[in-house]
Amino acid sequence: MIKLLRVDHRLIHGQVVFSWTSFLQADCILVACDAVVNDEIRKTTMKLSKPNGVKLVIKGIDASAEAINSGKTDPYKLFIVVESIADAEKLTAKCPQIKEVNLGGVKKTDDRKRLSAAVYANDEEIELIKKMISRDINIEIRQTPSDKVIKAEKVI
């Protein structure tokens, strides 16, 4: 069962490890990120950071979609983490069963507008958010589970 897909440029860190995994009662974290699959240092760091008793799987976007669609992830309370809004859009397009996306951390750059304290998006990313919303995906913005939920459609 997919609990949530979170966009966070930091991927696995304190908020994900402690707050979100506990809040969602997730027993498996799937890091879906093409950039990490072949980066042994990042993979090792994430493996060391994962919560005890929680399975960690690191796959590229296509392999993640394949695992989700094949039913391999069905036995788990799955928390999916991607690095970018573009990755979230790709994964949700391939996996229509993903209905919830949390924008938790997208770093500020010169071409991005502020959507919240920790989420910034450029024009292309805003179009991707709109595309996901048009597919009836609920997109919320919040860093931690205790933060107030901001609906993406209200700030884009």
Residue 1 lies in a domain: no
Does the predicted model carry a pTM greater than 0.75? yes
Residue 57 lies in a domain: yes
pLDDT in tens, 73-122: 999 999 999 999 999 999 999 999 999 999 999 999 999 999 999 999 99
Q: How far apart are CA 5 and CA 16, in angstroms?
A: 11
Strands (E), 42-134: 55-59, 78-82, 100-105, 113-114, 120-121
Residue 62 lies in a domain: yes
Strands (E), 9-109: 28-32, 55-59, 78-82, 100-105
Query: Is 62 within 8 Å of 36 (Cβ atoms)?
Result: no
pLDDT in tens, 1-54: 999 999 999 998 876 777 999 999 999 999 999 999 999 999 999 998 888 899
Residue 94 lies in a domain: yes
Query: Is 61 within 8 Å of 84 (Cβ atoms)?
Result: no
CA neighbor of 33 nearest in space, from 8, 50, 13: 8
Residue 63 lies in a domain: yes
Residue 71 lies in a domain: yes
Number of domains in the chain: 1
Backbone angles phi, psi at 121, to 5 degrees: -145, 140
CATH number, position 119: 3.40.35.10
Residue 68 lies in a domain: yes
Q: Which domain holds residue 43?
A: 6-154
Q: How far apart are CA 43 and CA 93, in angstroms?
A: 25
Residue 61 lies in a domain: yes
pLDDT at res. 87 = 98
pLDDT at res. 49 = 87
pLDDT in tens, 108-128: 999 999 999 999 999 999 999
